Amino acid sequence: MKFVFLIVAVVATVLCEKSRYDNYRVYKIEIKNREQLDAMKYLADTSDSFNFWTQPLHFGSYELMVPPHKFSHFSEMVDNLNMQHELIIKNLQELHDKELPLNKRKADGVMDWEDYQSVETIHSWMDSLQVEFPTFVNVTTIGNSYEGRPMKLLKLSKKAGNRAIFVESHIHAREWIGSATSTWILNQLLRSNVSAVVDLANNIDWYFLPIANPDGYEYTRTNNRNWRKTRSKQSALCYGVDPNRNFGYNWMVPEEITGSTGSSVSPCSDVYSGPYNFSEPECYAIDRFLDAHRGIFDAYLALHSYDHSILYPYGNSRVPVPNDEVLKAVGDESARRLYEKHGIQYRVGNQVFILYEASGNSQDHAYGKYKIPISYTYEMRGSGSYGNFGFFLPPEFIIPNAEEMLEAFLGLVSKAREYGLLATA
């Protein structure tokens, strides 16, 4: 048995050379003037060594990953530009190692929230829920990813006539906290005895798509933990499209003041919008599903990391949308409830004001094309008073993050009902 395991291990090592990030540093840099911004934009567009965790589009603070062979280049650069900077992660590989199960606490394939789980474990757990709760849980496959993995969606419906919420998570491959959080909340909806949670489960229909980018997620587990995009082949050298820049509504439409789409036409970029809208089968599957279920959803919630914010449409415009006031009020209540749980303060507002431009994202598509009135992107934990981890939040934070997100959902629903949304049938 040991021998067989050894062979498997050797084969696995040969098949996939896993990227390592030994001694990679992450700096927080402050972009405060035009010269610094232009230099950082140029660096983001041209360097394949430096890696920005969010695209530098405006003045503000950004996290920049610096490989060991670029340490001196980085020091020169920040000196020349007189740019404020702070070392926040000393050795990125150490963070990645912390995410792995230390001692096999359980057999493979068993679902829990002590660790991040594989696509296969999450999908078979969803199937098991359908067996356990056959009267109100239904699991379907809404399409297949580029590499042929199923896009599994779970519907929870306890009675006819409920209004519905769509929860999309883990569309960005490296944002592991997404699927960990949505599955934890789903589990609470099925098993909690807390009356407010039971109310959510009984009086709302829930559609969970825990892993919206299964190829990308698997790739982060086997090859490169820092991967963001899908895995479709785009050119001889570059793979993947940013799926959250590939949706049809306002795809590649620039923001009116900055002229930025928040995406890129370069196939190698982390924010590549794709050769055309819905080039990615993952995004297309979501669109087809929403199209086939027009009019049932009052809310579309996309779970991402990391920023501690609740964003709403549009990602390419500062012009207030017709129900801006409702989105702000419901978002504020969601953030207030979230804060009460563990003291994490979220900001709430229009995507461009709060974070950055991002045309072709799912939140805008749900709102703009399918008129789903409450459409939010939650940027959850990553860096804060609990530590600086970025996309690589250690597993001990899964449950605290999920607990406060359940509160966020409770706050959202209670406030939305004041506006006649998500009303009990």
CA 203 – CA 218 distance, rounded (Å) = 34
The least CB distance from residue 286 to Zn ion, in Å, is 15
Q: Which is nearer to Zn ion, 203 or 363 (CB)?
A: 363
Q: Identify which of residues 74 and 227 has a Cβ nearer to Zn ion in the complex.
A: 227
The end-to-end CA distance of the chain, in Å, is 57
Question: Minimal distance in Å, beta carbon 22 to Zn ion?
Answer: 25
Tell me whether residue 117 or residue 377 sits nearer to Zn ion (CB atom). 377
Closer of 304 and 365 to Zn ion (Cβ): 304
Q: Is 170 in the site for Zn ion (CB under 5 A)?
A: no
Contact track, Zn ion, 247-286, x by CB under 5 A? ----------------------------------------
Structure tokens at 425: 């049938």
CA distances from 21 to 27, 92, 216, 338 (A): 14, 6, 18, 33
Task: Extract the tokens encoding 408.
Answer: 């966020």
- Is 379 designated active site? yes
Q: Which of 62-70, 85-93, 164-172, 390-398 is the region at the interface with Zn ion (rule: CB under 5 A)?
A: 164-172
Task: Give the Cβ contact number of residue 193 at 10 Å.
Answer: 6
- Pick the closer one to Zn ion by CB: 152 or 172: 172
- In whole angstroms, the minimum distance from the beta carbon of 282 to Zn ion comes to 14
Q: Which stretch binds Zn ion (CB under 5 A): 26-34, 54-62, 301-309, 341-349?
A: 301-309
Give the interface segment with Zn ion, choosing from 107-115, 281-289, 302-310, 311-319 (CB under 5 A): 302-310
User: Which residues 6+ apart lie within 8 Å of 281 measured at CB?
Assistant: 143, 144, 145, 146
In the beta sheet, which residues pair with residue 152?
Answer: 141
At 123, the amino acid letter reads: H
Angle CA 220–181–298, to nearest 5: 115
Nearest to 145 by CA among 123, 121, 115: 123
Which of 123, 163, 170, 172: binder of Zn ion (CB under 5 A)? 172
Residue span 173-212 as binding mask against Zn ion, x where in contact by CB under 5 A, dash where not: --x-------------------------------------
Query: Does 365 help bind Zn ion (rule: CB under 5 A)?
Result: no
Rounded to the nearest 10°, the torsion over CA 226, 150, 206, 374 is: 50
304 binds Zn ion (CB under 5 A): yes
| DSSP E strand stretches across 130-185 | 137-144, 150-156, 163-169
**List 379, 404, 407, 418, catalytic entry:** 379
Q: Catalytic residue positions? A: 379
| Binding residues vs Zn ion (CB under 5 A) | 172, 175, 304
